[in-house]
Each structure stands twice: as C-alpha cells, then as structure tokens.
Amino acid sequence: MHYLWDTILYKPFVNILALLVSFIPGGDVGFAVIILTLLVKTALIPLSQRSIESQAKMKLLEPEMKKIKTGGATKEEQAKQTMELYKKYKTNPFSGCLLVLIQIPIILALYYAFYKGIKFDGGLLYSFVHIPAKINMVFIGLVDLGQKSLVLAILAGVSQFLQAHYMPKSLPSSSSDKSSFQESFAQSMQMQMKYFLPILIVFIAYRISGVVALYWITSNMFTVVQQIYASKKKGHLELMIQ
C-alpha cells in the first residue's frame, strides 16, 4: 500500500513541484506550491463540483423530506417515498460522500508533499527531472515558507472560515415547526465548522510551516470560488424542485 501511495500519488507531486521550481524565475517555491495546488484542484473540478451541487440539492430537498417524515406513513412507505423523491430530482444522498472519498487520497498526497518539506531527494525524482538549481523558500521576498508564519496561519484560518461560510446551508424552518434533534445537531455542526475549525487550522498551520499554510489558503480559496459558482446555480435548482 505504501509503495502504491508513493508511486501513484506522492512521487508524481514531488516531481511536478521540482519542475515548477526549476521553471519559475528565482525558484520561488511559494508560486510553485500555488500552481501545483491549483493544477490538482482544477483536475478535480468534475468531482468536487458535483459534490458541492449534490450537497446544495440535498439541502433544497429538506422541506420535502420533512413532509415525508411527518406525513404519518409507515417506515417502509417513507423509504419508498424518499427513493421516489431522489429519483424525481436525479440526486443521491451518497453521491457527494463518494466523490469526497475519491478526492481524499489525492488531496492528502498533495498535503503530504508539502508537509515533509521541500527537499528534492534525488531518489524521489524521475531520471528526466533534475534538482532545481535554485530553491527560494522566501515567498515573494517576504515570508520564509520553511519556517512558522503567523500571518499565513491566520490567513489559512480566514480562508477556512470563508469556505464554511459559503457551504450550502439548510433552509430555515417555519416558526411553527419545532426543530428536530437532527436539525439541531446539523446546525451545531455548521457552527463548529464555521467558527471552531478555522481556529484549529490557524493553530495547526502555525505549528507546521508556512508552506502548508500557503497550500491551505490556495486550496480553500479555490473551493470558495466553486461554492460561489454553485450558489449562482442554486436558483436554477430551486426552480427544478418547485
């Protein structure tokens, strides 16, 4: 398993990073990290965009789901009606999870390439890839990515907050409806994702290095753009569901 991880994911990322550093003027590792992160995130757009849109559609279907649960039907009838609802609007509650699971190994390998530090060991590089002649760890002449960076760590936390802010949200319940335990739990999780996780990201990013913080910033902001794009399509989804 470790061999497959190195051969299929980790090693290719290290080699692409080495090539980018070689071609970028001044060997600025920061720009190489940003470009590599954007390349990977762009390649994953078909999966990630479908996952985001699937989450948005499931949120829009919540009122219909609630009607089914409170309609007085048996469990078997509720399950049948729920499946008919999914079929009608061409959605699947597990599709978003599946797409996320597919992305996780790729994103972890990219993160791991930065986490281990920018050290281009000759044993990791392909025969046609050479160790960059110049490796500049000082991003835009201001931030040493090899060291801890409070500024980048804070920006990583801010980018995580923005990502949580633009995530698809549940539609508000009418005032006459009592919130169920499931709804209360979901709202609690959303609050933690929005406020607690960014603080945790700041702490972790500062403890590791500036290069990991820069990766998080780039990755999160890319996702924010995707989520904003998906929110613009939300109106179309609402018309489909109405």
How many other CB atoms are found less than 10 A from the CB of residue 194? 16
Selection from 97, 71, 87, 115 nearest residue 207 by Cα: 115
Q: Whole domain around residue 127: which residue ranges?
A: 2-241
pTM given for the model: 0.75
User: What percent of the chain shows pLDDT beyond 90?
Assistant: 16
Residue 76: how many other CB atoms lie within 10 Å: 8
> Given this model, what pLDDT does residue 239 score?
45
pLDDT(22) > 80: yes
Predicted local confidence at residue 175, as pLDDT: 45
Q: Amino acid letter at 146?
A: G
Coil, strand or helix at 175: coil
pLDDT of residue 176: 45
Q: Are 95 and 50 in contact (CB under 8 A)?
A: yes
From residue 77, give the alpha-carbon distance in Å to each of 73, 84, 197: 6, 11, 39
Length of the chain: 242
CA atoms within 13 A on the CB side of 26: 10
Question: By C-alpha distance, which of 203, 202, 172 is closest to 187?
Answer: 172
Count Cβ atoms below 10 Å from residue 161 Cβ, excluding itself.
20
pLDDT in tens, 93-152: 666 566 567 667 777 787 777 776 667 766 778 888 888 888 888 898 889 888 889 999
User: For 166-233, where are the alpha helices, taking DSSP H only?
Assistant: 181-191, 197-208, 210-232
Least confident of 95-109, 195-209, 220-234: 95-109
pLDDT recorded at residue 189: 65
Phi, psi dihedral angles at 47 (to 5 degrees): -80, -50
Look at the chain and report how many structural domains it folds into.
Answer: 1
Predicted confidence band of residue 202 (pLDDT cuts 50, 70, 90): very high
Q: Nearest-5° angle of CA 122, CA 205, CA 108?
A: 55
